[in-house]
Structure 1
Amino acid sequence: MDEKKIRELYAQSEIDSVYQTLNSSSKGLSSEEAEKRLEKYGLNEIKRPPKQSQWQTFIKNFTTLMAILLWISGFIAIVSGTMELGIAIWLVNIINGTFSFWQERQAQKATDALNKMLESYVQVYRDGKKKQVEAKHIVPGDVFALQAGSKVPADARIISATSLQVDQSALNGESVPESKRTSFDPGEGKYAESNMVYSGTTAVSGTATAICFSTGMDTELGQIAHLTQEQEKVDSPLTRELNRLTKQISIIAFTIGLFFFIASIFFVKQPFGAAFIFSLGMIVAFIPEGLLPTVTLSLAQGVKRMAKKHALVKELNSVETLGETTVICSDKTGTLTQNQMTIHYIRTLNDEFEVTGDGYVNNGQVELNGKQLWYDEHPDLKVITEIASLDNDTSIENKDGQNKILGTPTEASLVIMAQKAGYDIHKQMVKKPRLREFPFDSERKKMSTVNQISDSEAAVLVKGSYSDLIKDCNFVQVNGEVKPLTAEDKQKLDRLNADYARQGLRSMGLAYKKIKNDDAISNLTIETAESQLVFAGLVTMSDPPRPEIYDAIKHCHDAKIRVVMVTGDSKLTAKTVAVKIGITSEKARVIDGRELDEMSDSELREALKDEVIFARVAPEQKYKIVKTFQENGEVVAATGDGVNDAPALKRADIGIAMGLSGTDVAKDAANMILTDDNFASIVAAIEEGRTVYSNIRKFLTYILSSNVPEAIPSVLYLLSGGLIPLPLTVMQILTIDLGTDMLPALALGAEPSDPDVMKRAPISRDEHLLNKRVLVKAFLWYGLLEALVSIAAYFFVNKQAGLVFGHLAASGDIYIKATTMTLGAIVFSQIANVINCRTEKVSVFKKGLFINPHIWTGILFEIILFIILTVTPGVQGIFNTGVLGISDWIMLCLIPIPLILIEEARKKLFRINK
């Protein structure tokens, strides 16, 4: 039998039949029977998927495609006779893999600490007595007690209930608690059965006893967790792109190696062995050994910056994935909104009072026509405030500056409203004590109390659904006077209520009547108490948007990122909030869960191309929405905090869970956790992601540029048949790639965001890191300029010695000086290149020459390393270098200036013509 049928069976059966099915009773189980069932059904807990061992995680970081290519490169270097460089390449790989492993472990530790929770306990009836046990020891057939603030430990059928309201937002996304009772009513939407409570939800008011029928992974929460765990992990776009890039670079490197091998045999007539070693050196030269360290460093620095902004990234690649995000599928309650009901207006027949101040703060005020009012300055405001405060079971505690609700969010909003009106609730409750109460239930949708107001007089105070309350009202209070409620008055109030509903505000009616304070009060019935009432007014409320959400949504739109609301709340509420915070316009289509079920895949794909909002959706439907967006070619980020969000979080390219209000299941499924539940942190994360992607491209441009001046001297050597001796040796080429270029390249990974990074469209999934633009800029612009400069330096030294083509130095001091100058020209050209690569379009002077100190550290390092190579006797022989004169150094130091100015001119021309 599937879960739905099991749920229906327990909901619709008589309670005696439930006892019989579960072989239990109203007194619960015996301790002995509970132990047997615990052994049979297992612990009442959500099983988490097994994690990779530390050893597996460690090995994973050394077996990526790029890592494998580096292992091969190191081996080739060793075979070619350069043992030191081969070992250096392997050390680069080892350091990078170890760093990646360490970073992932740190993120995992932080996540584990975030998810760690105190053991929860529940009051269970065992052996006919109430006793406290750990929630994980609950078994089917157990009878347990609930009260305000209790977490529901398992799926259960209600046996008895008094004013029970349950917050089910973790399961269904609803911001309004559900009323629960013993009789069955299917309700609206999933999990809405009136006599059922579910694991993962919370009792916010009232008391109840219930009998458990499902625990652990068999609960509704467990089924959602299972659905989440079934989803295969999706590789991030960066992982896929790095794999593609590795293949591209491998093809380029081995193609070039093959070319040089063939050319050295046929053009220079080198022996097979010498030609092979020479081509191996060229292959190693064209492999970007610094790619993995730069990518890892860029991602790690993005993670570090995000941590300071309250975003915990569990995997490095998640930062970059955010940079490619095109769609954010966002839950509403607790994500876009504050998940706390707030009163906006108090409405009498003739006056509207505005309640100011955001959320649960008591430093706001109540105004009429811009004038601040206290509750006793207007007779209608006074009676409304008293009804809202005295006919109320919720209190608010302020601890360490944080408000804690003991009751329902709806009643809490009335308490805060009274505080803003200057009403001293505690004093008035003593002065006007409660004599009787008629708890709220979902049938009549009202709550009433009888309070003493004098020795001879009492008052029935009533609050509830406007449409249900107005039927019991025969009078209305206007400016302190009570008069008959006319048809015209009722029509006016109906219009006002409808207007508030169109604004997405929920209305609550308040009424009262005075009665004698005598013995008859004890015999008062609900019917007699809630009749012939005086209508006092309406209060209107909503779950307000987070204050920072407006700017966050605007930044998303500026960055060409769609935000789509996917919520379990009603269609009207969803659309009102979405339009208010700027997610969509009024023309947006609202699709609910029922419509979504009836839509074909093709219809849904078409619907997702336009403005759309999803309301009343179930967990599996959220997953379907994310999946269909991905099938439309979108890179999807999904946000949420509830169990119902987990499958979509797992399926999304990046799942973002709320750290404070989020459930463990949601956090486990997510790639990133917002530790302050601040949606605006997502925008900062997107900027970081785009910066990381941009920096990787800058790095690629930088390191590929030097391949051209490294290759052209060898091409000249081959094409001239050896008449032009090698202007650059293989050892010098490897020195550039693994020596002088490394730190400046890594520094590009720490480059701050370009000013226009959040004004660009998201990077297309079809656009690759190594694209035509990068290749053209690296090879045909920066590379050719550097090649011209380096070859000019080589011929300059020969010309100074009086040597011309055909008679160039092939050995001796002049040849050593020529190759040293060629190497130096490339090093100093790369100084200009690293500065030029810091921006794509903006002037580097406008961005700031010194805002990335790592660049200058890298430049200083490569200059010092070049000096060491030229003046250290033992090193000179290995790298074929020699000491340079003062005039040579002046020439080298001047090289960056024209290269920077030429690039600045190109960028300015681009900005003018764009």
Structure 2
Amino acid sequence: MEENKIRELYAKNDISEVYTNLHSSSAGLTSAEATARLAKYGRNEIKKSQEESEWKTFFKNFISMMAILLWISGAVAMFSGTIELGIAIWMVNIINGLFSFWQERAAKRATDALNNMLPTYVQAIRDGKKAQIDAKELVPGDVFILQAGNAIPADARLITASSMQVDQSALNGESVPESKTTDYAPGEGSYAEANLVYSGTTVGSGTARAIAFATGMNTEFGKIAQLTQKQNKVDSPLTQELNRLTKQLSIIAVSIGVLFLIAAIFFVKYPFAKAFIFALGMIVAFIPEGLLPTVTLSLAQGVKRMAKKHALVKELNSVETLGETTVICSDKTGTLTQNQMTIHYIWTPQNEYKVTGNGYVNNGQIELNNKQLWYEENPDLHKLVQIASLDNDTAVQPSKVKGGKPKILGTPTEACLIIMAEKAGFDRQKVLVKYPRLRELPFDSNRKRMSTIHRWNDHQYIIFTKGSFSDVIKQCDQIQVDGKVRALTDDDKKRAEKHNADYAAKGLRSMAMAYRIVEKENADVTKLTIETAEQHLVFVGLTTMSDPPRPEIYNAVRRCHQAKIKIIMVTGDSKLTAKSVAVQIGLTSDKARVISGDELETMSNEDLREALKGEVIFARVAPEQKYKVVKTLQENGEIVASTGDGVNDAPALKQADIGIAMGLTGTDVAKDAANIILTDDNFASIVAAIEEGRAVYSNIRKFLTYILTSNVPEAFPSILFLFSGGLIPLPMTVMQILTVDLGTDMLPALGLGGEAVDPDVMKQAPRKHNEHLLNRSVIIKAFLWYGLISSAISIGAYFFVNLQNGWPHVPLAADGPVYMRATTMVLGAIIFTQIANVLNCRTNKVSLFKKGIFSNRNIWYGIIFEILLFLALTVTPGLQQLFNTTRLLPVDWLFLFCLPIPLVIIDEIKKWLLYHKK
């Protein structure tokens, strides 16, 4: 790629050519030139994707398919003469739209508060002098200074470097810091050029001077952000499903309206105009006006519950998408692991020691055969701990917050050696007073060693050396065993090589420790070179380290597997490390295939699709390759959640059905691309969020069953009226139907939206992508079970009143007090059967009494509200006229209050027969 060639030129060219190309020098830019370049190149910042204006965001909440259907329904209601009804439907739409906008705006503000990535200030050379400037004003050609702990503000070429190591995990996912020098070396993996540093990464140790060649959106960091921003946003599965449901319900409502129009004309002999208005009223009655607000509130409640579990949801519909996730593509470093290098074992020729306590925890210990040891008790362990602690440039400052992580001033690799020494009881500062450091031979990526020279006594210096096993052992010709130094034999080397290979096979990174004592009379400490100092060393042993898995990851992975959710590791780390961690935490078996980025580059789409069907791990992948994995999974029909914290994860986060970014360690680009942000960076929070997502979808389906149930008894009176040719007076008016839909059904339905998660929800497979909200089970329950029972009871209530007034010897009342009481009883019967139905809908298989009949208080508040509302409709004069109701007799109220009891019992028997017995 052209951009990579430009980057390569800056890496390969002599520094003088770099100065020439950038029209700069070692003295940096002048203030005037810097100002001109700032105008030309723009500020050094990562621009967010063009966000919708607040007005556009506001109005989109009022134009979903269901919202449009409600606007039309309200207009139809007004056209049919029921203006109050039309206004009520529109108010439902307006309130729901305002609520959705408020929820998403609150989430956006919380997200913006988390984003804080690039450094605020940088030390640049301007007009030949050091100047502290805002990092956003850095421009190409600026020379700037770096030291341990600095975030790197731009892509730059190193001019000078001393013991420079850079944590590039935010960019490439690699957990091991990269060594940086002024000499060009291509390195292994992405962004590994030894003399280039990149925006958004962090200096682990050392100091350097660099010249910026790319800033802002022209950096590698910015290019990945642009790749993310170019992706088109697709509707969430829930949005797609609600659109489908809207179409289905619209077809049902219009079809029923047409049937009622024909029936009114041919059976009741209505004129066309009157029949048309009657049919319009029935269409409005069959539109579930409460669906949208209930879905919105259900999602909002899910968002609130997830926030308590450390998952910040940016968009409401993302909640449900998590619930149907079939595959999680997870980054390794910082997501599955702690992003804290930790020593696990120490090996000396005599013993292997176990180091306990994870990460930067100082309360661990070093053990031999499960017995705690202090370093003084074993001369070989003593020497190894001494080398690890003193041949070290990193400082570990205790946290000022109780339970917080110590502050690391240096690299994670050296930090874990300091912590190991502390666990052994080694007092570094006290020992440094006794053996002060005189010189340092800094680490470089060519020899892969670091040495420090100390005063040993009045007559001797001691040289401590640490580094990669292969690079240290070749400088050794002696070995220390049980405190005694002797010649290093071939057998000694083979034993050490075997242990080193065994540790590598476990995904552990080893570091060798050696030393040498030099007589003062034979060497001038100021004149010792790398070649003269790092020879004839005494080999002491190995330390083995890794970035350990998060403690909670084991249970989280197990629960995902129980829930039939596949987890695929996609990391920038090495193949060996990736597989080791995956097997260790139970992500995959040892038989899993590991595909590198180079292999992935040459794979055909068909081969990749086939590989993704089995156990697979992806290692050393570039950002566009991670994106490719996610996209291919989606082409395989999977619902994909992708996790990550680095800028390298952002394209995949944006493409995934649900992107999950880390809030504490995540880059602003990753958080901007994600749908959900974990405020505790805890993978286990994803499992809790998936559980909530599944609960939300289950609750929406329960609500749908509940509201569709009432449509059957609402339609039945009109069916009797039409097909009796008007001999049975209309038992229920359109305004009474809307009383149920927008009045009495609403609050209990909202209570269903907050129903607690079913205990077995994470033991079920994700719902199939082609399984819709309005499925066979919902239709049978709503229309053929609850609906028909409620219809029979409500019509029974109508005839119950007429029976008390002389029917069948007296014709059915078509108007007057008896008719008013009969229609009121139909309305009351539907309301009271819906009380039973809302309780029955709370569980699918489990007994209501086992779950707790009073455990969902919101449903009971809704039940109390609908009873009080019905009472108000029957006794308030103005409402009586509007809704065609009247006062009921005590016997009527007794009849109504008894209705829910047998319905709940019948449903409990059905659940026992269908599920418990099975």
- Scaled by the length of structure 1, the TM-score of the pair is 0.99
Q: Do the aligned partners of 1:155 and 1:213 also contact (CA within 8 Å) in 2?
A: yes
Instruction: State the shift of 1:157 in Å.
Output: 1.1
Q: Which residue type is aligned with residue 252 of structure 1?
A: I
| Partner of residue 362, structure 1 | 362
For residue 618 of structure 2, give the secondary structure of its aligned residue in structure 1.
strand
Q: Do the aligned partners of 2:119 and 2:152 also contact (CA within 8 Å) in 1?
A: no
For residue 399 of structure 1, give the secondary structure of its aligned residue in structure 2.
coil
| Partner of residue 754, structure 1 | 758
For residue 752 of structure 1, give the secondary structure of its aligned residue in structure 2.
coil
Instruction: State the shift of 1:801 in Å.
Output: 2.0
Show CA shifts across 1:606-663 (max 9, x none): 1111111000000000111111111111111111000100001111111111111011
> After superposition, where does 1:602-681 map in structure 2 within 5 Å?
602-681=606-685
Show CA shifts across 1:741-781 (max 9, x none): 11111111111111111111111111111112111110011
Instruction: State the shift of 1:119 in Å.
Output: 5.6
Query: Are residue 899 (structure 1) and residue 915 (structure 2) matched?
Result: no
The 4+ residue runs of structure 1 with deviation greater than 3 A are 116-119
Q: Which residue type is aligned with residue 260 of structure 2?
A: F
| Partner of residue 276, structure 2 | 276
Query: Are residue 538 (structure 1) and residue 542 (structure 2) matched?
Result: yes
Query: Are residue 473 (structure 1) and residue 464 (structure 2) matched?
Result: no
| Partner of residue 11, structure 2 | 11
How many pairs align? Answer: 914
Tell me, in whole angstroms, the C-alpha distance in 2 between the residues paired with 1:129 and 1:820: 89
Tell me, in whole angstroms, the C-alpha distance in 1 between the residues paired with 2:891 and 2:136: 80
Tell me, in whole angstroms, the C-alpha distance in 2 between the residues paired with 1:324 and 1:682: 13
| Partner of residue 484, structure 1 | 487
Instruction: State the shift of 1:802 in Å.
Output: 2.4
Q: Do the aligned partners of 1:723 and 1:806 also contact (CA within 8 Å) in 2?
A: no
Tell me, in whole angstroms, the C-alpha distance in 2 between the residues paired with 1:817 and 1:200: 74
Identity of aligned residues (%): 70
Q: Do the aligned partners of 1:163 and 1:205 also contact (CA within 8 Å) in 2?
A: yes
| Partner of residue 48, structure 1 | 48
Tell me, in whole angstroms, the C-alpha distance in 1 between the residues paired with 2:192 and 2:878: 82
> After superposition, where does 1:694-713 map in structure 2 within 5 Å?
694-713=698-717
| Partner of residue 847, structure 1 | 851
Tell me, in whole angstroms, the C-alpha distance in 2 between the residues paired with 1:380 and 1:418: 14
> After superposition, where does 1:123-272 map in structure 2 within 5 Å?
123-272=123-272
Show CA shifts across 1:678-710 (max 9, x none): 111111111111111111101100000011111
Q: Which residue type is aligned with residue 309 of structure 1?
A: K
Tell me, in whole angstroms, the C-alpha distance in 2 between the residues paired with 1:267 and 1:556: 59
> After superposition, where does 1:788-807 map in structure 2 within 5 Å?
788-804=792-808, 807=811
Tell me, in whole angstroms, the C-alpha distance in 2 between the residues paired with 1:187 and 1:116: 30
Tell me, in whole angstroms, the C-alpha distance in 2 between the residues paired with 1:739 and 1:247: 24
The gaps in structure 1 that reach 5 residues or longer are none
Instruction: State the shift of 1:800 in Å.
Output: 2.2
Q: Which residue type is aligned with residue 707 of structure 1?
A: N
Query: Are residue 554 (structure 1) and residue 581 (structure 2) matched?
Result: no
Tell me, in whole angstroms, the C-alpha distance in 1 between the residues paired with 2:316 and 2:65: 17
Instruction: State the shift of 1:6 in Å.
Output: 0.1
Show CA shifts across 1:817-846 (max 9, x none): 221221111111000000000111111111
Tell me, in whole angstroms, the C-alpha distance in 2 between the residues paired with 1:185 and 1:120: 31
Instruction: State the shift of 1:204 in Å.
Output: 0.8
Q: Against the structure 1 CA distance between its residues 718 and 179, is the aligned structure 2 distance closer, same or farther, given a 3 Å change threshold?
A: same
Tell me, in whole angstroms, the C-alpha distance in 2 between the residues paired with 1:374 and 1:454: 24
Choose the corresponding residue for 2:887, options 883, 887, 897.
883
| Partner of residue 454, structure 2 | 451
Q: Do the aligned partners of 1:328 and 1:637 also contact (CA within 8 Å) in 2?
A: yes
Instruction: State the shift of 1:399 in Å.
Output: 2.7
Query: Are residue 692 (structure 1) and residue 692 (structure 2) matched?
Result: no
Tell me, in whole angstroms, the C-alpha distance in 2 between the residues paired with 1:334 and 1:806: 81
Query: Are residue 501 (structure 1) and residue 504 (structure 2) matched?
Result: yes
| Partner of residue 568, structure 2 | 564
Instruction: State the shift of 1:354 in Å.
Output: 0.7
For residue 46 of structure 1, give the secondary structure of its aligned residue in structure 2.
coil
Instruction: State the shift of 1:35 in Å.
Output: 1.5
Tell me, in whole angstroms, the C-alpha distance in 2 between the residues paired with 1:845 and 1:323: 26
Show CA shifts across 1:103-122 (max 9, x none): 11111111111115686111
Tell me, in whole angstroms, the C-alpha distance in 2 between the residues paired with 1:876 and 1:38: 73
Show CA shifts across 1:841-867 (max 9, x none): 111111111221000000001111111
Choose the corresponding residue for 2:781, options 777, 802, 806.
777
Tell me, in whole angstroms, the C-alpha distance in 2 between the residues paired with 1:311 and 1:806: 66
Tell me, in whole angstroms, the C-alpha distance in 1 between the residues paired with 2:171 and 2:596: 16
Q: Do the aligned partners of 2:653 and 2:660 also contact (CA within 8 Å) in 1?
A: yes
Tell me, in whole angstroms, the C-alpha distance in 1 between the residues paired with 2:117 and 2:642: 24
Show CA shifts across 1:510-531 (max 9, x none): 0111112456222212122111
Instruction: State the shift of 1:458 in Å.
Output: 2.0
Show CA shifts across 1:445-473 (max 9, x none): 11011111222222111100011111111
| Partner of residue 324, structure 1 | 324
Show CA shifts across 1:51-85 (max 9, x none): 11111111111111111111111112222222222
Q: Which residue type is aligned with residue 718 of structure 2?
A: S
Instruction: State the shift of 1:146 in Å.
Output: 1.1
For residue 587 of structure 2, give the secondary structure of its aligned residue in structure 1.
coil
Tell me, in whole angstroms, the C-alpha distance in 2 between the residues paired with 1:831 and 1:853: 14
Tell me, in whole angstroms, the C-alpha distance in 2 between the residues paired with 1:908 and 1:678: 39
| Partner of residue 742, structure 1 | 746
Tell me, in whole angstroms, the C-alpha distance in 1 between the residues paired with 2:551 and 2:795: 61
| Superposition RMSD in Å | 1.3
Instruction: State the shift of 1:359 in Å.
Output: 1.0
Query: Are residue 294 (structure 1) and residue 290 (structure 2) matched?
Result: no
Q: Which residue type is aligned with residue 162 of structure 2?
A: T
Choose the corresponding residue for 1:682, options 682, 686, 689.
686
When structure 1 is superposed on structure 2, of 702-711 and 264-273 the one drifting more is 264-273
The gaps in structure 2 that reach 5 residues or longer are none
Q: Do the aligned partners of 1:803 and 1:809 also contact (CA within 8 Å) in 2?
A: no
Choose the corresponding residue for 2:445, options 435, 442, 446.
442
Show CA shifts across 1:207-253 (max 9, x none): 11111111111111111011000001121111111111111111111
Q: Do the aligned partners of 2:119 and 2:151 also contact (CA within 8 Å) in 1?
A: no
